[in-house]
Structure 1
């Protein structure tokens, strides 16, 4: 999920094939060990030196309170019990928290409420596939840990004959507040500026809703972060296909309150430590998303 403003990511009222997809993508069904995410959790060894650098206000209760939008498979989504948040973002941040001698405690929330929740102190970290960009860096500190681009997807066979470079007049699904929403809004303006029909943009609070809209035929195509789009296609059992190439890759970042610079610094060191240790690679490999691996964590990289 790519996002410039706070936002990204079904409705079970969408019947038939859409419900099947939801049961797979939103609930994270794992039938055997060959499925992404199957197998034991990846763990990291605690680093006493890093743990000592964690501000007392963070480590006092032994947990890091994490805000996440759990509708964004395979990054963060609810497991079969409907309560436990799983995914590669979760797997990786659990290892980072362990490196700091802490336990991550996840709270599901609408994507566009997470950054305000960090600013208010409701959450200590935002772990929700936040793309690092200039707008977000104005309000929070961000530590890079992964790289993703945007990927289009459509129903198998592309019945709507969607061309990402000329989607004028098409119905396109995106998650609220995402980088993809900015992307498709700019594309629609380009259409109208050229005297062509605007793109009909359907915004969904949950990415799983956007995916279901494609499966049902309500919308012609969707935009999402590259690992999310690829995962949705894989889980659709041939009902969806990717459309075009991945573009505009940018880093994901953990979000921390702007006045907690010291915590952001040690968080960056912890990410670098799990990269060096190898638990980073193991966490990504478990979910089949190694393609977005980075080698150096950065604090507030230019966007």
Structure 2
């Protein structure tokens, strides 16, 4: 499961910073597939045509490879996850990179891999690039190029109508669900509980689940009063259950996601950046995000290696 960096939260360890961004649900990394995507999203990527001026920016060695294999840990809906057939990799990130590839005149396929191996796989030449909701941070920039393409933070969700009057800034005494090993579980809610107890209030009861789907199900069943999760996850949960759930409060502790490219291949990273700029200009970028209910994470620039 992914974790966003949370620079505004005290006590975030260097280890958590390095790991933040995503993780694995022990998927088989031998599976390989092109994506199909959500209704409307993939069609937008499919409409993209080659831009000859941008295609010239792709390093010759990559341009002549034929079909590029891109690494992704497909365990994190809606950004990257497997379809009902258990093989096809789909999601917002998948559609975005498919559109980038089309703009650059490239053909790509996606291969499932454990999150912890993906950057190493890029640097070893297994993948020319990887996309898997990687949060851009200083540790990752030491070993890879990263192209900014999205901004994620933490968001809270509660039952429709907010019957418990949940306020993320005053959740003391309520029961809140989180996914295990996320920054919400390890840092965010514990920090809030310190404030609750310091103020003489009841602490938040934190209910941790291995799968985000179980966290969402707990809220729908009334077992928790709300949940805190990465904003793409929260947005998707509400979009899929809009008659039962709603977001509450504003997204916070935002940090950018980046596409990973080998450290010594800055030219390819720059080509991806230029393609994203073109997709933003023609409206495709925002249409893909909106199709996955995540337009609120759109960025306005796509730099290579932005300062965290």
The two structures share one fold, judged by TM-score above 0.5: yes
Question: CA, structure 1 residues 117+240, in 2 after alignment: closer, same or farther (shift >3 Å)?
Answer: farther
Structure 1 position 179, deviation (Å): 7.1
Please state how far the C-alpha of 1:191 moved relative to its aligned partner: 5.2
Q: How do 1:88-127 and structure 2 match up within 5 A?
A: 88-127=92-131
What is the Cα deviation at residue 95 of structure 1? 0.9
- Quote the residue 1:277 is aligned against: 282
Give the Cα–Cα distance (whole angstroms) in 2 for the partners of residues 213 and 115 of structure 1: 34
TM-score w.r.t. the length of structure 2 is 0.73
C-alpha change, 1:280 and 1:40, in structure 2 (3 Å) is closer
**1:215-240 deviation line (CA, Å, top 9, x unaligned):** 45565533223232122112125333
Q: Which of residues 58, 62, 69 in structure 1 aligns to 2:62?
A: 58
Q: TM-score, normalised by structure 1?
A: 0.74
Cα deviations by residue, 1:239-260 (Å, 9 ceiling, x for unpaired) = 3332322223332221223333
| Partner Cα distance (1:200, 1:251) in 2 | 27
1:78 deviation in Å? 2.5
Of residues 223, 226, 229, the one that matches 2:228 is 223
Check 1:188–1:106 CA distance in 2 against 1; reply closer, same or farther (3 A cut).
Answer: farther
Say if 1:235 and 1:285 are closer, same or farther in 2 by CA, change over 3 A. closer
Residue 83 in structure 1 maps to residue 87 in structure 2? yes
- Matched position secondary structure for 1:53: coil
Bigger CA drift: 190-199 or 146-155? 190-199
CA shift for structure 1 position 288: 4.1
Aligned partners of 1:42 and 1:279 also within 8 Å: no
CA RMSD of aligned residues (A): 3.6
| Alpha-carbon spacing, 1:52–1:36, altered in 2? closer, same or farther (3 Å) | closer
Bigger drift between 233-242 and 185-194 goes to: 185-194
User: Is the Cα–Cα contact under 8 Å of residues 149 and 256 in structure 2 kept in the other structure?
Assistant: yes
Q: 1:165 to 1:285 in 2, by over 3 A?
A: closer
Partner of 1:200: 206
1:14 maps to: none
Residues 259 and 212 (structure 1), Cα distance of their counterparts in 2 relative to 1, 3 Å cut = farther
- Partner-residue secondary structure (3-state), 1:294: coil
Partner of 1:265: 270
Residue among 252, 256, 274 paired with 1:251 = 256
What is the DSSP-based 3-state SS (H/G/I as helix, E as strand, rest coil) of the residue aligned with 1:149? strand
CA distance in 2, matches of 1:238, 1:29: 23
Distance in 1 (alpha carbons) for counterparts of 2:78 and 2:93: 8
Q: Which residue of 2 aligns with 1:3?
A: 4
How far apart, in 1, do the equivalents of 2:81 and 2:178 lie?
19
Distance 1:189 1:122 in 2: 45
Once the two structures are TM-superposed, the CA of residue 300 in structure 1 deviates from its matched residue by: 1.3
Deviating 4+ runs (over 6 angstroms): 192-196
For 1:165, what is the secondary structure of its paired residue?
helix
CA contact (8 A) 2:158 2:219 kept: yes
Partner of 2:11: none
